[in-house]
Structure 1
Amino acid sequence: MADAILTVNHLNKSYRHQPVLRDVSFECAQGHIVGLVGANGAGKTTIMKAVLGLIKADGDIRITGTTMQFDHHPILTVVGALIEYPSSYPYMSGWDNLRLFADGLDAQARISTVVSALNMSSYIHQKARHYSLGMKQKLGVALAFLNKPQLVILDEPMNGLDPQGTKELRDFILKEKQAGVTFLISSHILSELQKLADDLVVIDHGRIIKKTTMTALLATTDHFLVITTDHDGQAKTILTTAGYQVVAGPIVKVHLAPADQVADVLSVLTSHGIAVTDVQHADADLESTILKLLAVTSA
């Protein structure tokens, strides 16, 4: 990938002879949001720590073409990161925490921009020790964006955020992406990752089991037909008897196989005197797709 900002090749890591990462290789293209997905303990945070030079690992890691080394990594001046829990100086205000790490003559302007974008103005001058979990999370995210990074690595960035805070962060990430910033994001909130990620790296027990785009992965998901009728209970029985897979639940939701035609499904119902009042298409979401993929690989 010619425009890769981050390249990870054959990354391996063990703790006490127990393999944690196994031959991990992937790339992050410039201006892309890459989602790192897997169960707890799969190795996502370990990958991020290795990329940032926080832990030793075997393999080759390059950021903007420069090889990362555990004991020498000046290239991190172009990287912003939030790994695990955000840290701050509790007896300093949020603003002073940001000012402490801001570089350059336009530091004040950049602090103001990120504070405004994340809607932190009402509490940014309070001491950080009084912050809620969500406030601390926003402060950690603000620190990651502070010095105009080319690459931002975020580990569970939505932790502790309410719906409004989540939307503000999502909008900010998408805006930075449009400006050319590259992201590597790990999140267990897959519904949010679905709204953000261009590419996906799925990891299980330290191995990458899938590298794909969000569009390509969702194109392989299950498709359903949600039908409203005048007798839903009867409709379910009729469709099941006809050989269709009906999803359990209060609504009439039919799994639509590639060979199934919508007209045929509806015809089965109308031929039995069931009146169809509404028909909608629905696709499986990212969460169900990833769970299905993990289940297949672990079987």
Structure 2
Amino acid sequence: MNDCIIECCGLTKRYKSKAAVLNAELKIYRGEIVGIIGKNGAGKSTLLKMIAGLVYPTSGELHFFNRAAAGEQSFFERMGVLIENPGLYPNASGYENLKLLAIAYGLKDSKARIEELLQLVGLDSNNTIKVKGYSMGMKQRLGIAVALLGNPDVLILDEPINGLDPQGIMEIRQLILELNKEGLTILISSHILEELSKIATKYAIIHQGEIVEVISREDLQHKCEERIEISVEAAEAAIPILERELHIMKYKVVDGRTLYVYDTDMQIRRITQVLVEHGVMVDSITRHKQSLEQYLLERTERAGELHA
């Protein structure tokens, strides 16, 4: 995957003396689902608004398809955006909402497109119920249909499952995966990290306005994978002993003193005993298992220490 469609280059947004986003560097490739994660007030919404063209950066540049976005309104027209609550007409039906917006956008012959979108998001085009009678989940799905009305290349969603019940969350998750399967690139923020971990292919961790890490799903899964961490005098000396005596084959050498063992059924006491019996001193040995939430907390705490 090497088709970069969005690039944030030192993107900064200041409100008076406070930096809401500071020197954000992020590349987004075609077909990715990028999860923007961080604590409340970290700068997630501001970053998404700058990418969507809703907020002008104080400094830095935004590139689309390797071209600077400044002054190029056509780039922003290729985005579908659902940030905060969708702006819907409460006294109109879902179909009527989309029809009114299609007229406002200047879209001609929109009937088939509207029916297609309503079917895609799981709403009945013949349903005459007014939006004020919709559940929260139905409103969010209609909001996504609104964002898709212009047939965008990129979909930006800010907290799309906030306030939904489990059924609504599942429906939005399935919809996002279906849209991505059809080729849509998606940026999504959510504080429900367990749900985000089910759909995102890459994460940008933002803390106090700064993107402190960009990490792929595979790398994050590897970091959060259950393992036994062993610190010894010399990893090279420990490896043949572990292989020969304990038949441990799933491991990773982190550095000259540290090993990660992924045969997690093995008892820590047994590993320590065998290594010591063969002359390898064990400095420490611990089990490690992190959730996405734990990793995020640890990563943002480290970033906070650097800022202190």
Q: TM-score range by the shorter chain?
A: 0.7 to 0.9
Residues 157 and 178 of structure 1, relative CA distance in 2, 3 Å threshold:
same
The alpha-carbon deviation at position 19 of structure 1 amounts to: 1.5
- Paired with 1:285 and 1:209, the residues of 2 have a C-alpha distance of 18
Between 1:32-41 and 1:73-82, the stretch displaced more is: 73-82
Residue type of the alignment partner of 1:295: E
Deviation at 1:261, TM superposition (A): 5.7
Dislocated runs of 4+, deviation >6 Å: none
Using the TM superposition, give the Cα deviation of residue 87 of structure 1 relative to its aligned residue in structure 2, in angstroms. 1.2
Name the CA distance, whole Å, in 1 between partners of 2:124 and 2:43. Answer: 36
Query: How far apart are residue 179 of structure 1 and its match?
Result: 2.0
What SS does the aligned partner of 1:201 have?
strand
1:64 lines up with 2:65 in the alignment: yes
* Unaligned ranges ≥5, structure 1: 226-255, 269-280
Distance of 2:23 and 2:12 partners within structure 1:
5
Superposed displacement of residue 44, structure 1: 0.6
Specify the alignment match of 1:174 in structure 2. Answer: 177
The one-letter code sitting in structure 2 at the alignment partner of 1:44 is K
Residue 139 (structure 2) aligned to one of 132, 136, 140: 136
TM-score with structure 1 length normalisation? 0.76
Partner of 2:224: 221
Q: Is the 8 A contact 1:37 1:188 kept in 2?
A: yes
Match of 2:206 among 185, 203, 206: 203
Give the whole-Å Cα distance in 1 for the aligned partners of 2:19 and 2:4. 27
Q: Secondary structure at the match of 1:220?
A: helix
* Residue number in structure 2 paired with 1:278: none
Matched, 1:190 2:193: yes
For 1:240, the equivalent position in structure 2 comes to none
Aligned partners of 1:52 and 1:124: how far apart in 2? 31
Query: SS in structure 1 opposite 2:198?
Result: helix
Match of 2:73 in 1: 73
| Equivalent in the alignment of 2:293 | 287
Which moved further from structure 2: 106-115 or 91-100? 106-115
- Preserved contact between residue 20 and residue 205 of structure 1 (Cα < 8 Å): yes
**1:162 CA drift (Å):** 2.4
CA contact (8 A) 1:49 1:55 kept: yes
Q: Give the distance between the partners of 2:38 and 2:210, measured in 1 at CA.
A: 10
Show CA shifts across 1:94-126 (max 9, x none). 211112233655632332233223322289532
Q: Secondary structure at the match of 1:149?
A: coil
Number of matched pairs: 256
Alpha carbons of structure 1 residues 261 and 45: separation in structure 2 relative to 1, 3 Å: closer
Does the CA contact (< 8 Å) of 2:95 and 2:125 recur in 1?
no
Name the SS for the 2:197 alignment partner: helix
Instruction: Say if 1:123 and 1:298 are closer, same or farther in 2 by CA, change over 3 A.
Output: farther
Q: Counterpart in 1 of 2:39? A: 39
Q: Matched residue of 1:200: which SS?
A: strand
Using the alignment, how far apart are the partners of 2:112 and 2:177 within structure 1? 20
Distance apart, 1:283 and its partner CA: 5.0
Task: Measure the CA separation in 2 of the matches of 1:17 and 1:122.
Answer: 49
- Report what 1:82 is aligned to: 82
State the distance in 2 between where 1:21 and 1:114 align. Answer: 34
Q: CA deviation at 1:177?
A: 1.4
CA distance in structure 2 between the partners assigned to 1:184 and 1:48 by the alignment: 8
Deviation at 1:45, TM superposition (A): 0.5
Counting only pairs closer than 5 Å after superposition, residues 228-247 of structure 1 correspond to structure 2 as none
SS of alignment partner, residue 148 of structure 1: coil
Q: What pairs with 1:114-125 in structure 2 (closer than 5 Å)? A: 114-121=117-124, 124-125=127-128
Contact 1:5 1:151 in 2 (8 A): no
User: CA shift at 1:33, angstroms?
Assistant: 0.5
Q: CA deviation at 1:195?
A: 0.8
Q: Return the offset for 1:8.
A: 0.8
Partner secondary structure for residue 123 of structure 2? coil
Identity, % of aligned pairs? Answer: 35
What secondary structure, in the 3-state scheme, does the structure 1 residue paired with 2:118 have?
helix
2:227·2:261 contact (CA, 8 Å) conserved in 1? no
Give RMSD over aligned pairs.
2.8
- 1:156 and 2:159 matched: yes
**Alpha-carbon offset, residue 181 of structure 1:** 1.0
CA distance in 1, matches of 2:199, 2:16: 36
Cα deviation, 1:31-78, whole Å, max 9, x if unaligned, reads: 110111110111110011111221221211122344333x76222221
